[in-house]
Structure 1
Amino acid sequence: MASAPSDPRRGDRVNENPASGQVGDVASRIAQRSLAKRGAGYADEVRRLLDAALGVMKRRGTTSRPRVADIVTAAGLSNDAFYRHFPSKDALVAALLEDGTERLYSYVAHQMGKEPTPEGKVYRWVRSVLSQAYAESAATTRAVLWNAGAVSEIIGSAPPVPSDRLAELLREPLRELGSADPAFDASLAAYTAFGKLGSYVWSETQPTDHDTERITAFCLRALTPPHAQSAVSKA
């Protein structure tokens, strides 16, 4: 049966190419697949560069800083691949620090999940953070921070960058323990733990179980009680 002609008065338009929409969809899907493949390839390049840089830094420790050429050789990539993702070696080191922080976040969260009580979660948090002062982890941390060229801005004498991210894990257990300001208290606890971690890392010493217990107890004693926040608000 022949279709009715369009009525100009109704603003109908004749689709002279009914398949054009389908062709457009196909083109879009193909383009998206190409972008996805390229994105996956780029993600692989970045991971190889990060892993290679970390490996070279661990081997050299604090004796010498690797060049971009050393990193791309270890990664089996080219200078073009490096600069496609990082404007400088400092940018790569910053990415390493961020990557390490996210790895530590996942590890600490997993360890905290083993504890049923908020007190246990805080203890596990402190213990997991301080575990970065043990032999191999400490050597890796020292090497990366030394390459960053801004040690005091990352860990030790100034507020450590990872503390802000890791402090997020303490908010809920501290709230359950009665903190009137869990975000603030979590930040204080994180500064305390990462400050001590910095001391252990750079002095090449390790925390004892007693150290972990004392730091945990200190963090728990520092909770803001509800009446304290009310007093501050009235003042």
Structure 2
Amino acid sequence: MMSLIFSFVQIDAGHDDDRRRIIEAAYRCLSEPHRGPIRMSVILRTAGVSSRAFYRHFRSKDDLFLALLRQGADDIAARVDRVAAEAVGSPADQLAAWIGEVFDLMVDPRQRMQMSVIDSEEVRTAQGYRELREQSHAGRERSLTEILRRGRADGSFPLADPDHDAVAISALVSRIMTSVTSDDLQAVKQAQSRLLDFALRAVGAVSRG
């Protein structure tokens, strides 16, 4: 009986490993220069798995691409959720930390590669992409809304409209992330500082300078 259970554990572990390798191969193939849509055969060859293994985890190539977006969104949400959960310092400190976490993604080579893949034209054409993208933004904004509510409650953000301001600040973050060259660290830091100053003024807080 124990050997049978152990066999099932090994099978599950193998399946999970196949899924991880497929996702990593998709990132690798999509991030490298290529002409036209990436063929599934190329991704599977890079991953070293069979089409049968692929269909154990994904219904289609679109489903795989949505998994890339979901993984990236979950990673970002986990980082900013941690900022809200730890609640270190004042709401202004937490807002600065939230913005800082997102901007840190821009200077991390692996995260930058993942974001460029997720925002690529090929992935954006996946059926269901727009709806999942909206969900991912909502997931990212959840923690920001909580921080703004704290500032509104303690009087440090007297002009805050948490639900609407979180959407506006998040939208500005997305725009900056696509317009600032991530290799220019000074430009990234300046954009981060300007955004924080704008956000603090928008909610009625005194600028941190």
TM-score by length of 2: 0.72
Q: Distance in 1 between matches of 2:73 and 2:33?
A: 19
Confirm or deny that 1:129 pairs with 2:109.
no
Aligned to 2:118, which of 121, 130, 144?
144
Instruction: Report what 2:200 is aligned to.
Output: 220
Deviations 1:190-219 (A, max 9, x none): 112112212236x97664323212211222
Q: How many residues align?
A: 192
Confirm or deny that 1:173 pairs with 2:147.
yes
Confirm or deny that 1:79 pairs with 2:54.
no
Residues 142 and 114 of structure 1: is their aligned pair in 2 closer, same or farther, counting only changes over 3 Å? Answer: same
Question: Any unmatched runs of 5+ in structure 1?
Answer: 1-25, 226-235
SS in 2 for 1:208: helix
Q: Distance in 2 between matches of 1:63 and 1:126?
A: 36
Q: Distance in 2 between matches of 1:224 and 1:187?
A: 17
Q: Distance in 2 between matches of 1:62 and 1:161?
A: 29
**Aligned ranges for residues 205-216 of structure 1 at < 5 Å?**
207-216=187-196
Is the contact made by 2:66 and 2:129 (CA closer than 8 Å) also made in structure 1? no
Larger RCO (CA within 8 A; separation ≥ 6): 2
Structure 1 residue 93, shift from structure 2 partner = 1.0
Identity %: 24
Deviations 1:177-198 (A, max 9, x none): 1166423322222112112212
TM-score by length of 1: 0.65
Instruction: Report what 1:4 is aligned to.
Output: none
Confirm or deny that 1:185 pairs with 2:165.
yes
Q: Distance in 2 between matches of 1:205 and 1:72?
A: 35
- Name the amino acid aligned to 1:117: S
Structure 1 residue 224, shift from structure 2 partner = 8.7
Residues 114 and 181 of structure 1: is their aligned pair in 2 closer, same or farther, counting only changes over 3 Å? Answer: closer
Is the contact made by 1:172 and 1:182 (CA closer than 8 Å) also made in structure 2? yes
